[in-house]
Amino acid sequence: MEAAIKMIGELSSGEIRELVRGKYSEVALNSTSKYKFRVGKQYALDLGYAAGEIESFPEMLAESFTGVSSYLARCGEFAPGEVILELGAGGGLDTALLARKVGPSGKVIGIDLSLAMVRKAVTGLGRLGLPNVRCVQALAEELPLPDSSVDWVVSNGIFNLSPEKERILEEVHRVLKPRGRVLCSEIVLQREPSLEERFHEEDWFK
């Protein structure tokens, strides 16, 4: 029997989350397959990541890159010793760049809902020998962190994937220290997508 295909608007938040988890786990495990979005090192270079830095990293750190800009580590005025929380850290490319910014006295905590992505980031970052990073499987909507515990929250392309953006923002507000800062690269709609564009789950970033 064929599974019923639903319109995107008919999917629950939990169903959308599982589709997102499945898709990015696939990217972590098969980064060279064909996707509806760009993946990998050449994409990162085209977006403006510094070739010298990327070339010095273990190959796997950029292999599953699917961010939407190269600005995270460049745009924040990160200081040594600061604690950064990265939402949807994926394969760990920005995580590595950010960890270098805050140095050994600082810390980067990367969270991602896909266990396969987290495993990939842990392996790649481990090969780079960075002592100040920790990657865990978690939802941005339910952060496993205490109140007022981080100086920065950053992300590179996670909000567009969550149907519960307000819950994420509430969590960001909760975990940020007073005067903490937020830096997010995101896809923003400039108009409502048409019915055809939001047709059904088979069309959706498959």
Q: What is the rounded CA–CA span in Å between residue 165 and residue 162?
A: 6
Q: What is the rounded CA–CA span in Å between residue 22 and residue 8?
A: 16
Q: What is the rounded CA–CA span in Å between residue 55 and residue 147?
A: 37
76 binds ligand SAM (CB under 6 A): no
Q: Which of 99, 109, 133, 158 binds ligand SAM (CB under 6 A)?
A: 158
90 binds ligand SAM (CB under 6 A): yes
Q: Which of 40, 76, 88, 180 binds ligand SAM (CB under 6 A)?
A: 88
CA 13 to chain CA mean position, Å: 18
Among 4-12, 45-53, 82-90, 146-154, the segment contacting ligand SAM (CB under 6 A): 82-90
Report the first-to-last Cα separation within the chain, whole angstroms: 22
* Site track 38-67 with ligand SAM (rule: CB under 6 A), x = hit: ---------------------------xxx
β-sheet with 176-185: strand ranges across: 133-137, 107-112, 83-87, 150-156, 176-185
Q: Which of 96, 102, 150, 161 binds ligand SAM (CB under 6 A)?
A: 161
Distances (CA, A) of 129 to 5, 6, 41, 59, 81: 45, 45, 20, 14, 18
96 binds ligand SAM (CB under 6 A): no
139 binds ligand SAM (CB under 6 A): yes
Residues at the interface with ligand SAM (CB under 6 A): 20, 24, 65-67, 88-91, 93-94, 111-114, 117, 139-141, 156-158, 161-162
